[in-house]
Structure 1
Amino acid sequence: MITEAEFEQVAQDYNIEVAAIKAVHQVEANNGGFLPDGRLKILFEGHVFWRQLVKKGVDPYSILKQEHRDVLYKHWTRDEYIGGTGEWDRLAEAYKMTDDDRVKTAAVESASYGAFQLMGFNAQLVGFKDAFDLFFFLAEKELNHLKVFIKFCEANNLTRHLRSKNWAAFARGYNGPGYAQNKYDIKLEAAYNKFRL
């Protein structure tokens, strides 16, 4: 777990309230980046897998079989989420669909990882060679999750919204335009108000 001193140091370095960082930490992965068995918390996104395959020149229809419809689909849906260790099974299924390295890379890019649920395809944006390098860095310790989260916020000009507690603007930048559907901004504000007391 991230220690209080580590939260405070990062907050001080970036002029952000500790409560604001803790709010995102709680809402994204319920205060923890690892499963009880020691593996990273992940969520596999089948629509992202579709998109990443297309970017790599792989036609998703060319590898889509009925048994893979739980991990490869064109549009976002939460219907296929399993949660917990089941998400690792979904990632493994996607990874093993073919021997094509492009497919394997796209699979690793299509999950979100750790305490702040950063998508694998953001690896280069936050200073890593690829999603595999990002994964191994996050697997070391939870402090690394916090470091990567701040890098992502800096790269996307989101730290200003954390400073001003503009939860809607932060939510839009961090989770996309559909954030309101899941009341992401409302959850963040509620968590912030809890931690600032």
Structure 2
Amino acid sequence: MPGRLRVRRPSPTTVSFTVSDAPQRDSSPAKILFGLQILLRAILFFCVIFVGIARLRGSFFQENGRYVRWTEVWSSPLGLSVCRVVDAYNPWAVAATCALVIYGVFWRGYTEESLLVMRGFGIQTATSSSTYLSTASTRFIPTTQIQDIVIHEAFKGFEVRFYLAVIVEGQADVVVVFPQLLPKREILEEVWRGSRRCLYDVKS
């Protein structure tokens, strides 16, 4: 997907370009749908936690605790149903299913890539991870190692794609900016002009 560009200028010497393919949430139905997704993720997360506790109840959660009366929980209709289902399947199958559900709960569902330009210091590229459990992968290139910022073109299958690249001194390969999203040329040209203007103080 080409993605959308968001530009932030915290100071005259710093600019941030972020490209994301996340769905827009400007309208009220989109915001309501996003809220329902968050609620569903929370419900699934607590269901997985409850299933895990039910599986371990024979070792750790059988007697009443300080805040939770486990004997009443397991004797309730919901507790009896969950225990019956958990005990009916192989423990490894239950663990694998819970792991898949947890991955789905924390799955990001979109990609976000950014380029941070700081005059006199350098640039930093970042690509978000596929889940909310891990941080984004980043790379910092100091100004002294930046030879140029250019727009290249390459073939992807039978299609010509443009990409923004940083030529780094002493490296044979260029550093591709926004490598996963590969936004359209208009976005790349705006980022190219803005980054060079900030990095080199270009007036025109």
Say yes or no: TM over 0.5: no
Structure in which a larger fraction of residues adopt strand: 2
Higher relative contact order (CA 8 A, sep 6+): 1
With the length of structure 2 as denominator, give the TM-score of the two structures: 0.31
Higher helix share: 1
> So what's the TM-score if we normalise by structure 1?
0.32
Q: Which has the larger radius of gyration?
A: 2
